[in-house]
Structure 1
């Protein structure tokens, strides 16, 4: 017996939405009845309820100025059912894949061309802020296996929940913008406070700022969401988030304490920047849709096994 992701009722014959992938009862099976992200994100109800007619050929004097007729293949790639349609509803997994691809590229470039070239491509540094591509690549790059593994676990379990609530386009914007702002904020604060270290340079990599934003959004949407710390210890999400926030604040204020427990090279301020942005955005979208009360394996099959990660990795 499955559970409706909208109202929570149990159904013997559930319906699965082809657009958002969630499970619904008969009352909420239509996209407009469960606030499907396809309606709000794409603004294309005709794409959701596809009539089967080809709209690509239009009168050149129409309202689009003949754009559709001049670019007949554009909608086939970007529209509903197009080549890129697969990524709608799967952006969290897309970013997860990009993180590991970038990590592999780091290792490859470092082995072939040296650490300096790798740093120029993937590391956001205080002395190279004009390397604007690193504002983006540093989000997906990571400092080690444990670093990327921790961030991957959190993104895998929490990312899709937030994405389904806000839509793929908004989720992608939240993740990338917050990741960049967290990195730039950390570097800027280090310059302003004169805490650049003996080398006079501070650098940052990792998706932890964006991950904390995802945590912040989900904490606002459902603070009582039960997760399993290290897959064993059940805790509510608000306590999990508050605990990591407190640790980040303490280590940011006392770098010596952070260094004493092996956390001295972690950008704790970036975590806090991401969390604040996530909490603020969560308040903005709060109440638009219902989110699950617990994380389980197996989708909408009712109560199941443990789900949820350990903590976010380093930035």
Structure 2
């Protein structure tokens, strides 16, 4: 928790002035509200006080020379893609929910039985399709059942917006998709080296990465398991890791139909990225409430090949 340099009020999510470097609450975040020295620099060469609003009106094609400019897509505040800025958590939640009927309702209609070899090729990441690109993405949004979908969606709903606000929607998108893909690849490639078959699906690897980021930024962050049991985030993370390691030691990385190695890989990515953010001075809120499945946030119930 930071203290406002202007009024002394403690602030969970403070604002940092880019001109004077001070820390302020919401009431004093604007330069004119805290007597910022930068107000005297009216030419504003670095664009500190420029919101970019006028530019977005005059430049309807986005950044000059960019990909979106060439495609004629306006990514400014008023453009058709403006909604996604700051809302990628909810976009991913919507995709996960909408993908569920695509995964279980549409295949039988087109003659692909759920659980068939073709179904596995499309919706899971496994030994047979590990070197293709599409399962790296489809497996992240696919889930092994309603319970698996609900738990992962619930944890993403509570954790996602916090991290997205701190790192921005672009980096959050890269973290979610990248960690989800790498987590699944780690599980399948490890199984292949041991001569075993593995098929994984679920967003838990990506969610574990988000949890790892918050654990580093604020290990004492208070969370409420099942909305009842208060616990510091560092302890929840340790229990999550301990459970995955313990179960894996006794039954392998896919014990109980859960992709434990994918969980650990996703968490490792999040911890590493969180350490980078911490060096850059990022902060996190002091309290968060969520509900998770047994064994820690982001863990889905067991299933064929490994849900995570």
Which category of TM-score, normalised to the shorter sequence, fits these structures?
A: 0.7 to 0.9
Residue 23 of structure 2 is aligned to residue 26 of structure 1? no
Tell whether the 8 Å contact from 1:6 to 1:28 is kept in structure 2 after alignment.
Answer: no
- 2:269 aligned residue: 277
How big is the alpha-carbon RMSD for the aligned residues of Structure 1 and Structure 2? 3.3
Residue 290 of structure 2 is aligned to residue 308 of structure 1? yes
C-alpha distance in structure 2 between counterparts of 1:270 and 1:174, whole Å:
15
- 2:215 aligned residue: 219
Relative contact order: is structure 1 or structure 2 higher (C-alpha 8 Å, sep ≥ 6)?
Answer: 1
Flag structure 2 segments of 5+ consecutive residues without an equivalent: 16-23, 35-45, 301-307
Flag structure 1 segments of 5+ consecutive residues without an equivalent: 16-22, 34-42, 296-306
Distance 1:55 1:159, change over 3 A: same
C-alpha distance in structure 2 between counterparts of 1:292 and 1:237, whole Å:
12
C-alpha distance in structure 2 between counterparts of 1:6 and 1:162, whole Å:
22
- 1:264 aligned residue: 256
- 1:56 aligned residue: 59
C-alpha distance in structure 2 between counterparts of 1:162 and 1:121, whole Å:
30
Counterparts in 2 of 1:140-289, with a 5 A limit?
Answer: 140-194=141-195, 196=196, 201-255=197-251, 264-286=256-278, 288-289=281-282
Distance 1:80 1:53, change over 3 A: closer
C-alpha distance in structure 1 between counterparts of 2:77 and 2:50, whole Å:
6
Q: CA deviation at 1:207?
A: 0.6
Secondary structure class of the residue paired with 2:86: coil
1:64-97 per-residue CA deviation (whole Å, 9 max, x = no partner) reads: 57x89x85942x2x22221111111111111111
The number of residue pairs the alignment matches comes to 264
TM-score using structure 2 length: 0.76
Q: CA deviation at 1:52?
A: 6.9
C-alpha distance in structure 1 between counterparts of 2:299 and 2:170, whole Å:
25
